[in-house]
């Protein structure tokens, strides 16, 4: 049975955690394929609100094998804390598997990340990272000097590599003006402790995923962040350090392109982004503040207030194309209730010209002025609606407008954080149709 990829179509924070949790009931395996604990997925089930940073959102289902793939960078301290949190809530984590090839985020990576951002901030050029050390860990991976989860099982075998890496990173910290330093002995001791705790979870996850596909199991792959933060396709340099796009699921999850049957895009009914970078439709008025408060737009990882704006269809068309999106889940439609008039960006004006294509340059994007189409809003709350017919006509018209601009069907519409607060809307025929839990 082929795989399904869930990918964010905006700047992240689109509600991929709910999407994964919603569809996971019908699958055998959920694979996280990129990012680190710089991302956060919030899953709501009854009175339970879980904020997950590394563990895949399917962990709530006892039948699912949850996999952290080789494309993820893992802070062992964060992972162990997350496992402890889940255990304290009675959630079984025995079926979690972490790729032995996933690279480690080590303490000096965190220190470098924060020191570098502090220096850039002094020049007015901070990227707005979460300060979790993810970028420096990916840099070491690309430089072929990083340490991996499998090294936790035999830390003495990599003693020399630990020493070289610690020396290089201490020197970098000195150049950045940081007083923090580490010793190879301290890192080696920590790795031994992490390995003892995580040994039952470390595995060859590519073999696990391929084995599941050969057996005919349905595999769901979830990304962190979103398309517009992709290292290659986002608003560089205000991006993450990995590939959240659907192609990243192949390299980061251990599958081939022909094994993918469905790519489900996830987006919100409005736009948000965290950190620095151009944001053409940003709202800085009372409407933006109201959306942020009602939508609880605060970062799962950092707690930072997200920037809020009207929906932007220019990058949507781009995201649909580069991900080969086959269908879309629209989240947080309920948050727009009570707004009399909604604006939807359909193009930009840049240097006096109308532009309908997504600019590859953040500098060009910073000069973009949105061209809007207006939609009549709806005043009544919709979080109790369960069928498309029961939505206000103006809400249906807004969803249809988004779908026409995307060029692919919006098949699920979320009107609240619970699994059950989801409207099933015109699924196209597909081989594996996930059922919405009752």
Q: Which of 13, 151, 230, 312 is catalytic?
A: 13
Q: Which of 21, 41, 151, 218 is catalytic?
A: 41
**CA atoms within 13 Å, Cβ hemisphere of 142:** 8
Catalytic, 13? Answer yes
Distance CA 301, CA 253 (A): 23
Integer Cα distance of 242 and 160 in angstroms: 28
Is 191 buried (19+), middle (13-18) or exposed (0-12) by CB count in 10 A? buried
Question: Which string of b and e fits 278-290 if b means at least 16 CB within 10 Å?
Answer: bbbbbbeeebbee
CA-CA-CA-CA torsion sign (149, 71, 38, 422): negative
Instruction: Confirm whether 285 is a catalytic residue.
Output: no
Nearest Cα neighbor of 37 from 4, 85, 94, 5 is: 85
Cα gap 140→104, rounded to integer Å: 10
Q: How far is CA 383 from CA 41, 44, 334, 415, in A?
A: 21, 15, 6, 5
> What count of residues does the chain have?
438
Which residues are identified as catalytic?
A: 13, 41
């Amino acid at each position: 049975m082929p795989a399904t990829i869930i990918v964010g179509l905006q700047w992240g924070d689109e509600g991929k955690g709910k999407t994964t949790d919603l569809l996971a009931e019908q699958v055998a395996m959920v694979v996280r394929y990129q990012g680190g604990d710089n991302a956060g997925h919030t899953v709501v089930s009854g009175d339970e609100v879980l904020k997950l940073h590394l563990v895949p959102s399917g962990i709530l289902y006892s039948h699912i094998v949850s996999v952290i793939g080789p494309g993820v960078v893992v802070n062992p301290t964060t992972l162990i804390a997350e496992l402890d949190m889940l255990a304290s809530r009675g959630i079984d984590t025995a079926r979690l598997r972490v790729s032995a090839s996933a690279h480690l985020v080590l303490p000096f990576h965190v220190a470098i990340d924060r020191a570098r951002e502090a220096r850039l901030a002094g020049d007015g050029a901070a990227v707005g990272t979460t300060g979790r050390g993810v970028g420096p860990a990916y840099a070491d991976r690309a430089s072929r000097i990083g340490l991996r989860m499998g090294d936790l099982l035999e830390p003495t075998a990599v003693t020399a590599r630990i020493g070289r890496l610690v020396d290089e990173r201490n020197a970098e910290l000195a150049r950045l003006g940081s007083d923090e330093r580490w010793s190879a002995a301290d890192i080696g001791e920590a790795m031994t402790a992490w390995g003892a705790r995580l040994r039952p979870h470390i595995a060859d996850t590519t073999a696990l995923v391929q084995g599941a596909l050969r057996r005919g199991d349905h595999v769901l792959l979830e990304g962190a962040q979103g398309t517009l933060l992709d290292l290659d396709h986002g608003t560089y340099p205000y991006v993450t350090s990995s590939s959240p796009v659907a192609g990243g699921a192949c390299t980061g999850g251990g599958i081939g392109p022909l094994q993918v049957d469905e790519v489900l895009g996830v987006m919100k009914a409005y736009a948000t982004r965290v950190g620095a970078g151009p944001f053409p439709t940003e709202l800085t008025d009372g409407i933006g503040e109201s959306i942020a408060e009602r939508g609880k737009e605060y970062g799962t990882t950092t707690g930072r207030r997200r920037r809020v704006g009207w929906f932007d269809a220019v990058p949507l068309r781009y995201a649909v194309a580069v991900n080969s999106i086959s269908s879309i889940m629209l989240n947080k439609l309920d948050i727009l209730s009570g707004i009399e008039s909604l604006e939807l960006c359909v193009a930009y004006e840049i240097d006096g010209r109308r532009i309908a294509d997504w600019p590859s340059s953040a500098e060009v994007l910073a000069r973009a002025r949105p061209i809007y189409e207006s939609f009549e809003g709806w005043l009544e709350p919709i979080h109790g609606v369960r069928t498309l017919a029961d939505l206000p006509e103006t809400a249906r018209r807004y969803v249809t407008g988004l779908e026409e601009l995307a060029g692919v069907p919006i098949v699920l519409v979320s009107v609240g954080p619970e699994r059950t607060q989801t409207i099933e809307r015109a699924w196209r025929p597909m081989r594996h149709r996930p059922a919405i839990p009752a």
